[in-house]
A and B are shown apart, each in its own frame.
Chain A
Amino acid sequence: DGGITQSPKYLFRKEGQNVTLSCEQNLNHDAMYWYRQDPGQGLRLIYYSQIVNDFQKGDIAEGYSVSREKKESFPLTVTSAQKNPTAFYLCASSGAPDTEAFFGQGTRLTVV
């Protein structure tokens, strides 16, 4: 069953702690993306990766880090430097430039 899987669905973090969100895809897609969604706003790009061992900053990369050691996996770490991390995080993948992007089910991160 092909698709893109994010885990966990809900995540709670204490202020000052780093936390890592998982994203795995078995669609054999080269490109993977992380977006942040806040109420009343469009999705904003955090990081993207076009190929293994390479990634680029998006529009709001400050306070976040990523790695792309495997084609199937693109984990996102929310560091303590991110001032307002509470949000809904979406991972996506696509097979080629400018083709349809497939989204995971999202992770809702809450800082307590």
Chain B
Amino acid sequence: KNQVEQSPQSLIILEGKNCTLQCNYTVSPFSNLRWYKQDTGRGPVSLTIMTFSENTKSNGRYTATLDADTKQSSLHITASQLSDSASYICVVSPGGYNKLIFGAGTRLAVHP
């Protein structure tokens, strides 16, 4: 069964600290893996999209890694800011229009 598991479910960190969110998947075939940021009550916004051949991709303070052999991905946030408080969703695509598999997300709270 195609699944995307994210951990932790929720996380609290202090402003300025770093954190890493995890994503494990059992989706096959694999086309790409995406990380989205979703503010409360808003639509998700894309952070990164990585294909099989990409090991790491950065977007400002966000760095995503992908290990296609172990089917694991991580999202590292550097020097966290209060505005980083949101849910982070890992999404895996087997290809095509209709088959995005969404994780349940990690809810991050950054406290001053």
Contact = CB atoms under 8 A, between A and B. Distances in A.
Interface size class of A (residues with CB under 8 A): 20 to 34
B98 A100 contact: no
A103 B44 contact: yes
B52 to A, nearest CB: 12
A40 interface: yes
Interface string B83-112: 000000100010111101111110000000
A106 B96 contact: no
A48 B4 CA distance: 21
B58 interface: no
B32 interface: yes
A68 interface: no
A109 to B, nearest CB: 13
A101 interface: yes
Nearest to B9: A40
Given A45-B100, A48-B98, A58-B98, A98 B93 contact: yes
A56 interface: yes
Interface in A66-111: 88, 90, 92, 94, 97-98, 100-106, 108
B29 to A, nearest CB: 11
B109 to A, nearest CB: 16
Interface string B40-56: 01111110010000000
A53 interface: no
Nearest to B5: A42
Interface of A: 6, 31, 33, 40-45, 48, 50, 56, 58, 88, 90, 92, 94, 97-98, 100-106, 108
